[in-house]
């Protein structure tokens, strides 16, 4: 699945997400670090607005952050969300690009 | 009124079995009981009562209620009357409604988190037993060498409202506070026992849980705890191992499998919980980064924003 991240003042990025892979894990493979804290679906640090597409949760995610959708807005916890379609997401925090140095490529970060 | 200690945190978790594994094999608690509603009860090595953590099956992470022990059964009536007079709703909790525990009174803080006061707890004894025990019980757990549940930090939009209630109605003592240039309280550290904080209030959304801290015997044990967290690949170790400027304690934070924040820590100073005996240390907001994280001299904004 294709995942596209958007954030104010940052050029949008896209990367591929494997089946059963979370958005955060797929982003890491693409050398993009998404802001997370607990990485356990609880704290809401990675909460982001879904602009287009759908996700599912193989592991638990705290309903507190998912039930607060207002109007047509829909939110996801990126540390636990696995895309079920192409996704466009607006993140609450900027992401970081891991420098694409030979060493970074070698160690996969 | 005599609230004698912070005794337990009743936590909401999305996966009870994963949480129980974490609190036994990472934190170092022992499972003491289960109930028919699927709750798991756990206790630290050096506390005799039935539980210091309760895990409730839930859809959302966070705290269900915080348990505080009073030193006399009659304190429950006094507390219920005082809290009602203050204008907060009090609910009487029958004995056994929380397993291993006598009757209690439950009410919300001004910031919304629920407190439960009780007198009786069933005893499970110390980890190494009650007759001719080993003096190193915390070394007998598979997880961190935790001796006891020490304190909790909750979040409030207006921490001063909680401070006023806790000091004026429940006889907590304020040991340290962080103030903004206008003198408003940004964070507060309160004691009802013998240590500098049983309950702390930080800036953040009402009704939310920031962390609970598990005490260890020495800084060395905290280092051992960090090794354990790394070896078990427990995610998101924020800052640390570091020191807080406030209380000077050695600390590391991590998360349970539902994202509730835990702390291993050592070294708080002693402070009598009698109201007004120890005038509070005051931190101006501009010095708060040093107070929060002494080595880094910085507070990541997310540290207070990310709560369950």
- Judge whether B64 is closer than 8 Å to chain A, CB to CB: no
- The whole-angstrom distance between residue A39's C-alpha and the CA centroid of its chain comes to 11
Q: Cβ contacts (< 8 Å) between A58 and chain B: which residues? A: none
The dihedral built from the CA positions of residue B259, B299, B193 and B146, taken in this order, carries a sign that is: positive
For residue A63, the chain B residue with the least C-alpha distance is B60
Q: Cβ contacts (< 8 Å) between B239 and chain A: which residues? A: none
Phi, psi of B5 (to 5 degrees): -175, 160
Q: How far does A38 lie from chain B, in Å, by closest CA?
A: 5
pTM: 0.89
B229 Cβ neighbours under 8 A, 6+ residues apart = B26, B237, B252, B254
**Residue range B118-127, pLDDT digits in tens:** 999 999 999 9
Partner residue facing B258 (CB), from A35, A36, A60: A60
- Secondary structure (3-state) at B148: strand
Q: How far does B292 lie from chain A, in Å, by closest CA?
A: 18
Question: Residue A40 is encoded by which pair of tokens?
Answer: 């356990």
Tell me the H-state helices in chain B: 16-22, 74-86, 159-168, 219-231, 288-292, 301-305
Q: Are strands A87-91 and A47-52 parallel, antiparallel or unpaired?
A: antiparallel
Q: Are strands B250-255 and B240-243 parallel, antiparallel or unpaired?
A: antiparallel
Q: How far does A61 lie from chain B, in Å, by closest CA?
A: 7
Does A69 have pLDDT greater than 90? no
Hey, are the CB atoms on A63 and B236 less than 8 Å from each other? Answer: no
- Secondary structure (3-state) at A73: coil
Q: Cβ contacts (< 8 Å) between A41 and chain B: which residues? A: 14, 61, 258-259
**Any bridge partners for residue B56, and if so which?**
B12
**Residue range B117-166, pLDDT digits in tens:** 999 999 999 999 999 998 888 788 899 999 999 999 999 999 999 999 99
- Judge whether B69 is closer than 8 Å to chain A, CB to CB: no
- The whole-angstrom distance between residue B224's C-alpha and the CA centroid of its chain comes to 21
Q: How far apart are CA B296 and CA A36, in angstroms?
A: 20
Cβ atoms of A61 and B61 closer than 8 Å: no
Partner residue facing B307 (CB), from A36, A43, A63: A43
A 44-73: CB under 8 A from B: 44-45, 59-64
The per-residue pLDDT string of chain B (308 residues; one tens digit each, 9 = 90 and over) reads 689 999 999 999 999 999 999 999 999 999 999 999 999 999 999 999 999 999 999 999 999 999 999 999 999 999 999 999 999 999 999 999 999 999 999 999 999 999 999 999 999 999 999 999 988 887 888 999 999 999 999 999 999 999 999 999 999 999 999 999 999 999 999 999 999 999 999 999 999 999 999 999 999 999 999 999 999 999 766 667 899 999 999 999 999 999 999 999 999 999 887 777 889 999 999 999 999 999 988 887 778 888 99
Q: Cβ contacts (< 8 Å) between A40 and chain B: which residues? A: 235-236, 255-259
Question: Residue B112 is encoded by which pair of tokens?
Answer: 């919304």
pLDDT at position B1 is 65
For residue A80, the chain B residue with the least C-alpha distance is B258
- Judge whether B237 is closer than 8 Å to chain A, CB to CB: no
pLDDT at position A107 is 61
Hey, are the CB atoms on B308 and A64 less than 8 Å from each other? Answer: yes
How does B52-89 read in b/e, with b if 16+ C-beta sit within 10 Å? Answer: bbbbbebebbbbbbbbbbbeeeebbeebbebbeeeeee
Q: How far apart are CA B189 and CA B160, in angstroms?
A: 11
Q: How far apart are CA B172 and CA B31, in angstroms?
A: 31
| Residue where the block lists tokens 């630290």 | B44
**Residue range B31-64, pLDDT digits in tens:** 999 999 999 999 999 999 999 999 999 999 999 9
The mean per-residue pLDDT over the stretch A84-94 comes to 94
- Judge whether A90 is closer than 8 Å to chain B, CB to CB: no
């Amino acid at each position: 699945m294709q995942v596209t991240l958007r954030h104010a003042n940052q050029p949008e990025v896209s990367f591929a997400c494997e089946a059963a892979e979370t958005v955060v894990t797929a982003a890491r493979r693409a050398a993009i670090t998404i802001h997370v804290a607990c990485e356990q679906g609880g704290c809401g640090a990675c909460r982001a607005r879904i602009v287009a597409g759908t996700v599912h949760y193989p592991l638990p995610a705290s309903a507190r952050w998912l039930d607060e959708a207002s109007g047509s807005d829909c939110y996801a916890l990126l540390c636990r969300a696995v895309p079920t379609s192409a996704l466009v997401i607006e993140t609450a925090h900027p992401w970081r690009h891991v420098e694409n140095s030979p060493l970074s490529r070698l160690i996969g970060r | 009124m005599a609230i004698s200690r912070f005794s337990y945190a009743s936590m909401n978790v999305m996966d009870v079995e994963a949480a129980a594994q974490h609190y036994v094999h990472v934190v170092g608690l022992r499972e003491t009981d289960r109930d028919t509603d699927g709750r798991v009860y756990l206790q630290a090595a050096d506390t005799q009562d039935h539980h210091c953590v309760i895990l409730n099956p839930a859809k959302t992470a966070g705290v269900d209620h915080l348990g505080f022990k009073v030193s006399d059964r009659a304190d429950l009536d006094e507390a219920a009357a005082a809290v009602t007079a203050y204008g907060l709703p009090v609910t009487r909790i029958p004995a056994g409604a929380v397993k291993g525990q006598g009757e209690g009174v439950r009410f919300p803080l001004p910031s919304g988190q629920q407190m439960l006061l009780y007198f009786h707890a069933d005893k499970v004894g110390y980890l190494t037993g009650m007759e001719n025990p080993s003096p190193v019980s915390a070394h007998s757990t598979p997880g961190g060498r935790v001796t006891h549940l020490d304190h909790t930090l909750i979040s409030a939009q207006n921490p001063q409202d909680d401070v006023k209630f806790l000091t004026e109605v429940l006889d907590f003592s304020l040991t340290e506070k962080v103030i903004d240039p206008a003198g408003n309280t940004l964070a507060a550290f309160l004691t009802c026992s013998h240590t500098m904080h049983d309950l702390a209030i930080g800036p953040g959304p009402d009704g939310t849980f920031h962390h609970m801290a598990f005490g260890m015997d020495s800084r060395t044990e905290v280092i051992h705890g960090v090794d354990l967290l790394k070896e078990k690949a427990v995610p998101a170790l924020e800052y640390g191992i570091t020191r807080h400027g406030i209380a000077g304690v050695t600390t590391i934070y991590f998360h349970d499998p539902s994202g509730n924040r835990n702390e291993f820590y050592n070294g708080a100073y002693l402070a009598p919980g009698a109201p007004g005996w120890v005038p509070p240390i005051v931190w101006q907001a501009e010095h708060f980064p040093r107070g929060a994280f002494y080595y880094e001299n910085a507070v990541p904004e997310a540290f207070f924003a990310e709560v369950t």
